[in-house]
């Protein structure tokens, strides 16, 4: 397998609320909710850098699509990392997320592995890490 991860889908309990958090609160670009003409088709797509798409899909619809039981548990298994260019940028994004309604679980601070990061939960409890490391650069 030659991994080409291009889509990350988050199951959400309230599509409108999650759309507002990511679009209005964090500034992620999107056309809004699409696919409403199909049963279990409503979804939000955010086109991010490097051809990565973040999608928001109602938890029940995602479970039905994958043929698995729906779960409301979101904690402890996965975090989504957002790399930024500086410690100051970590602080700014964390502040923006908190203003948008995120729950900060660990404020930004220096990490034992040489980086600087903080963590927050989105409205559905998905865990995000905002991270800077001096050896990880962003292509501009």
Total domains in the chain come to 2
Predicted confidence pLDDT, tens digits, the chain (140 residues): 778 889 999 999 999 999 999 999 999 999 999 998 988 889 999 999 888 999 999 999 988 888 888 877 766 668 899 999 999 999 999 999 999 999 999 999 999 999 999 999 999 989 999 999 999 876 54
Whether residue 95 sits in one domain with residue 62: no
Whole-angstrom CA distances from 102 to 20, 31, 84, 89, 126 are 12, 22, 18, 17, 10
Q: What is the pTM of this model?
A: 0.85
Structure confidence at residue 74 (pLDDT): 66
**Of 20, 45, 66, which residue is a domain's last?**
66
Q: Which domain holds residue 26?
A: 7-66
- Pull the structure tokens for residue 131: 């991270």
Asked if residue 137 belongs to a domain, the reply is: no
User: Any idea what the CATH number is for the domain that residue 60 is in?
Assistant: 3.10.180.10
Whether residue 47 sits in one domain with residue 14: yes
Whether residue 53 sits in one domain with residue 29: yes
Positive or negative: CA dihedral 58, 61, 65, 69: positive
Q: Are 82 and 50 spatial neighbours (Cβ–Cβ below 8 Å)? A: no
- Pull the structure tokens for residue 47: 């086109």
């Amino acid at each position: 397998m030659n991994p080409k991860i291009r889509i990350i889908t988050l199951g959400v309990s309230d599509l409108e609320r999650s759309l507002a958090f990511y679009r209005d609160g964090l500034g992620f670009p999107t056309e809004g909710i699409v696919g409403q003409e199909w049963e279990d088709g409503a979804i939000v797509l955010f086109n991010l850098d490097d051809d990565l798409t973040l999608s928001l899909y109602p938890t029940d619809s995602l479970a039905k699509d994958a043929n698995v039981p729906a779960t409301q548990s979101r904690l402890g298994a996965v975090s989504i990392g957002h790399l930024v260019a500086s410690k100051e940028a970590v602080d700014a994004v964390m502040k923006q997320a908190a203003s948008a309604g995120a729950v900060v679980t660990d404020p930004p601070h220096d990490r034992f592995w040489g980086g600087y990061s903080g963590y927050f939960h989105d409205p559905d409890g998905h865990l995000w890490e905002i991270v800077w490391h001096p050896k990880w650069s962003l292509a501009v």
